[in-house]
Amino acid sequence: MKKLSLYLISLIFICSLAIADDPSERCGVELTAKLEGYMKWLKEELPHIEPAINQNCKIQIMNLKELTEKDKEKLKRHEIELSDENNKIV
């Protein structure tokens, strides 16, 4: 019974980490602050993009399909991985 209780507690803890909605919970406060600063800079550089921090603690462009090739090239120069909603690199 004790092992089952520990197993259930562990399972609940792992599940709560997996579904964390707050990037600072998933990625850590320091990395999240860096990513948010970078996203702010990106919005200044390309105001029409919609950056977000994805589940893998990387910046993802939410409106990727709406970007021009020139915009995509600019993002690639800054080493931002461009992936679609299925996480396929474009």
Q: How many CB atoms lie within 10 A of CB 53?
A: 20
| pLDDT surpasses 80 at 29 | yes
Query: Which pLDDT belongs to residue 63?
Result: 86
Q: How far apart are CA 34 and CA 3, in angstroms?
A: 40
Residue 70 counted as domain residue: yes
Total structural domains within the chain: 1
Residue 43 counted as domain residue: yes
Give pLDDT tens digits for 41-60: 889 988 998 888 888 888 88
Residue 73 counted as domain residue: yes
CB 49, CB 65: distance < 8 Å: no
Residue 86 counted as domain residue: no
Interval 65-73 mean pLDDT? 87
Decide: pTM greater than 0.85. Answer: no
The boundaries of the domain holding residue 33 are 2-77
Interval 2-30 mean pLDDT? 63
Residue 83 counted as domain residue: no
Residue type, 27: C
Residue 82 counted as domain residue: no
